[in-house]
């Protein structure tokens, strides 16, 4: 499978959130975290104190307004459905290239698998460590939404002090 989505970022992005590879639903919708059971957009909108975005354009605007870039570690791989645990034969995305076109200083993984893949395929070249956050995936439904929001918000508050992210 080849990654069908471009990264969302601009030159003012200071934080990069990395997933692994788009789910089947995201590939079909041609946008990140399109599975309605994935809690990514709920978590992010709660952190930045905005209404839950409904359209792809609203989601993109919210990310860029708050200097957040979004992409995945994997450019191409063998994968069964949406299962991160089945990912094999990884070719990473050009994360070092993305970093050169932005102001990104902090990288977060949306889940353990994204962290593992970044460390294995990208970290040596970028020189930026990755910080893992609990996955927003439906496969991680045992963590309540309130706890996900708390963990993600704590991380971005640390970043706010360092980078000026617009988190109220």
Residues with catalytic roles: 38
Q: Calculate the alpha carbon distances from 143 to 6, 32, 61, 114 in Å.
A: 29, 21, 28, 18
Residue 141 backbone phi and psi in degrees, to 5: -70, -10
Measured from the Cβ of residue 61, the count of other Cβ atoms closer than 10 Å reads: 14
What's the 3-state SS for 9-76? CCCCCCEEEEECCCCHHHHHHCCCCCCCCCCHHHHHHHHCCCCCCCCHHHHHHHHHHCCEEEEECEEE
The tokens 């909108």 sit on which residue? 45
Residues in the chain, overall count: 168
Both tokens of 151, joined, read 């963990």
For 161, half-sphere exposure in the C-beta direction (CA atoms, 13 angstrom radius) is: 5
């Amino acid at each position: 499978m080849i990654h069908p989505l471009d990264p969302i970022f601009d030159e003012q992005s200071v934080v990069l959130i990395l997933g692994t590879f788009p789910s089947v639903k995201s590939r079909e919708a041609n946008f990140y975290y399109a599975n309605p059971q994935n809690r990514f957009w709920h978590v992010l909108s709660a952190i930045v104190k905005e209404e839950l975005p409904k359209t792809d354009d609203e989601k993109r605007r919210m990310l860029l307004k708050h200097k957040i870039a979004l992409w995945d570690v994997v450019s191409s791989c063998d994968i069964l459905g949406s299962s991160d645990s089945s990912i094999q034969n990884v070719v990473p995305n050009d994360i070092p290239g993305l970093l050169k076109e932005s102001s990104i200083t902090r990288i977060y993984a949306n889940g353990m698998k994204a962290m593992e893949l970044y460390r294995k395929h990208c970290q040596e070249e970028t020189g930026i460590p990755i910080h893992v956050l609990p996955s927003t995936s439906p496969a991680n439904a045992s963590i309540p939404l309130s706890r996900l929001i708390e963990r993600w918000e704590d991380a971005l508050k640390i970043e706010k002090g360092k980078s000026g992210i617009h988190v109220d």
